[in-house]
Amino acid sequence: MRWSETLLFLLTIITSSVVYSAEKLDSFRVVVSIKPIHSIVAGLMEGTDGPELLIGTESTPYGYVPTKAQQQLLKEADVLFWVGAELEKGLVGTIEELPPKVQVIELLSHQGLKILPSRMSSDQRDPYFWLDSRNVMIVIDDMTRLLQQADPKRSHLYERNRRKVLTRLARIDREYEYGYRGMKAGLGVQYFDTLQYFEQAYALKILERVSGSPRQSINAASLLKVRERIISGEATCLLSEKGFPTDNLALLIEGSQINHGILNSFGVGLTVGPDLYFNLMDHNTDEIKRCLNADMQAAGTARELAKQDATKVVDGIGSGQFLLTDHLGRLVSKQTMLGKYQIVYFGYTFCPDICPTSLQILFQAFDLLGESADLFQPYFITIDPQRDSIEVMRNYVTYYDERLIGVTGSQKMIDRVASQFKAKYEKVVEDAMEPDIYLMDHTASLYLLDTEGRFITKFAHGISPEELARRLMDFVDKK
């Protein structure tokens, strides 16, 4: 495969093979396939000539085939961002023929993202990752590094833009995180399956869907299932997508009083630029809530409050975005950890002494705190995901304390989170003939973050349970 699996890998390629001077910036051409991703890149490049959009404002990727002029544009590009073959199938042939100088970034192969399998085709990836704003937060960090490497003289511009875009993303994430909680599940059906990421991120449940995408043929069984949900009155909302064919819509809703909402996940008809992504996300959430008979006045109030209380983008320990998995298979992100004081420890289940000692001290301190221990949520993040699977983490947590949340994920995402906390670790193989038998030297501190995920302090290994309990309560009492 010619394209890199991660944007971080791309940075290595760019740094070693191409150096762009400020004078050459005008010839530094970034092309983006679809409007939502183009909008994010445009936000990061605001103040420059910006990226070029491949698939027009009135189009979706389904059925798209590049023109000869667009094929030439791609050959002259320095970087191409696309989602992947599941979405822009018409680009595959052109990409395979591009010259080596064009760095092609397939976002579905970015190992730092939460990429879900398609629910309609098990051998395919669900391409709609941008409908989880936390995925976009992660992509933004890597895109910013790319631009800063390519044009170091404007590094401050890209950093300023990154913070601006992240602040806007924090607003919608905060609004959506709380806006869907408590909404009665099981009220909606979909014509096409575009909301899987949105459902998982924001606790929205869709009962059925007719098809995965416009490329898949509509079968009678799927139509019948959705029709039954509608006629029975179980579903009060049917969601379709702007720009997608809905030839069987009349058949589905005939004789019913179901609400029909039209999503716009590609931003069809919206003005191209940095605002497009946020406009389409606002449109989608408003359409979903309206279709589900939510209180739109309350929804508007929630949006205004989120704008006023948007989480500030703070650099420093524990400040980055990540997507991991806990010992029960649930998503763990910066946002899901909010609400309690967080105590984060990096270790591994095969650790012979330091990790068990640290955890024992932590829970002895909790015993001393009594009911006040409920103010804190401990997380054990593995630095050895190769061995620490979800099942292994589940057994480990059960052995220690039911309050502990064990966290694992891909090696690249673990590396990302550890670097955000400035936690160090290194594999130590004592016998080269047995590389699978190893230990991990690692930082053994306990990190304390407040209820909003802001770093407070860290406690060194060796602290007594009594001292730890006293210091934890000192920080809470000062709140």
Please, what sign has the CA dihedral across residues 140, 141, 146, 149?
A: positive
- Chain centre to alpha carbon of residue 145: 17
Tell me, yes or no, whether 460 lies in a domain: yes
Examine the domain organization and report whether 272 and 344 are in the same domain.
no
353 and 449 both lie in a single domain: yes
DSSP string, 76-112: H-SEEEE--TTT-GGGHHHHHTS-TTSEEEEGGG-TT
Q: List CB contacts of 141: < 8 A, sequence separation 6 or more.
A: 162, 320, 321
pLDDT score recorded for residue 23: 40
* Sheet with strand 79-82: strands edge to edge: 52-53, 30-32, 79-82, 103-106
Beta strands in 87-201 (DSSP E): 103-106, 188-192
pLDDT at 56: 87
Question: 220 phi and psi, to 5 degrees?
Answer: -65, -35
Expressed as residue numbers, the domain containing 393 is: 323-478
Q: Is residue 146 part of a domain?
A: yes
For residues 297 and 343, membership in a common domain is answered with no
Q: Residue 286 sits in a domain of what CATH number?
A: 3.40.50.1980
> Which residues partner with 190 through β-bridges?
209, 239
Q: Please check whether residue 281 is in contact with residue 137, taking contact to mean a CB–CB distance below 8 angstroms.
A: no
Residues pairing with 52 in the sheet: 31
Q: Tell me the pairing of strands 376-382 and 405-408.
A: parallel
Instruction: Say how many Å lie between the first and final Cα of the chain, rounded.
Output: 52
Question: How far apart are alpha carbons 168 and 82 in whole angstroms?
Answer: 23
Give the model's pLDDT for residue 310.
52
Do the domain assignments include residue 454? yes
Q: Do 199 and 69 have their domain in common?
A: no
Query: Using CA atoms, how far apart are residues 21 and 322, in angstroms rounded to an integer?
Result: 32
What pLDDT, on the 0 to 100 scale, is given for residue 354? 87
Per-residue burial over 224-252, b = 16 or more CB atoms within 10 Å of its CB, e = otherwise = eebbebbeeeebbbbbbbbbbebebeeeb
Q: In this structure, is residue 161 part of a structural domain?
A: no
In a domain, 127, yes or no: no
Same domain, 186 and 298: yes
The whole-angstrom separation of Cα 77 and Cα 52 is: 9
Please report whether residue 292 resides in a domain.
yes
Q: Clarify whether residues 284 and 416 are in a common domain.
A: no
Q: What is the pLDDT of residue 178?
A: 54
Angle of CA points 194, 199, 200, to nearest 5°: 120
Same domain, 186 and 330: no
Q: Domain ends where: 308, 343, 368?
A: 308
**What pLDDT sits at residue 316?**
63
Predicted confidence at residue 13, as pLDDT, reads: 38
- Enumerate the β-bridge partners of residue 80: 31, 104
Same domain, 327 and 383: yes
Cα 408 from chain centre? 16
**CATH assignment at residue 467:** 3.40.30.10
125 in a domain, yes or no?
no
Q: Is 273 inside any structural domain?
A: yes
For position 20, what pLDDT does the model report? 36
Are residues 261 and 407 located together in one domain of the fold?
A: no
Q: Tell me how many domains the chain contains.
A: 3
pLDDT tens for the 479 residues of the chain, in order: 444 344 444 444 333 333 333 344 456 899 999 999 999 999 999 999 899 999 987 889 999 999 999 999 999 999 999 999 999 999 999 999 999 999 899 999 987 788 899 998 888 999 999 998 888 988 888 888 888 887 788 888 988 999 899 888 877 776 775 555 444 444 899 999 999 988 877 767 789 999 999 998 888 999 999 999 999 989 999 999 999 999 999 999 998 999 999 999 999 999 999 999 999 999 999 899 889 887 777 667 767 766 665 544 445 677 778 889 999 999 998 889 999 999 999 999 999 888 998 999 999 999 999 999 999 999 999 999 999 999 999 999 988 888 999 999 999 899 989 988 888 888 888 788 888 889 998 888 899 998 888 888 888 787 889 989 988 988 776 55
Q: Which of 285, 308, 331 is the last residue of a domain?
A: 308
What single-letter amino acid sits at 115?
A: I
Q: Same domain, yes or no, for 456 and 333?
A: yes
Same-domain check for residues 348 and 468: yes
Give residue 120's pLDDT: 85
In this prediction, residue 478 carries a pLDDT of: 58
Q: What is the 3-state secondary structure (H, E, C) of 390-457?
A: HHHHHHHHHHHCCCCEEEECCHHHHHHHHHHCCCCEEEECCCCCCCCCCEEEECCCEEEECCCCCEEE
Query: Among 261, 281, 308, which residue terminates a domain?
Result: 308
Spatial separation of the C-alpha atoms in residues 310 and 169, rounded to whole Å: 9
Together in a domain, 225 and 343? no
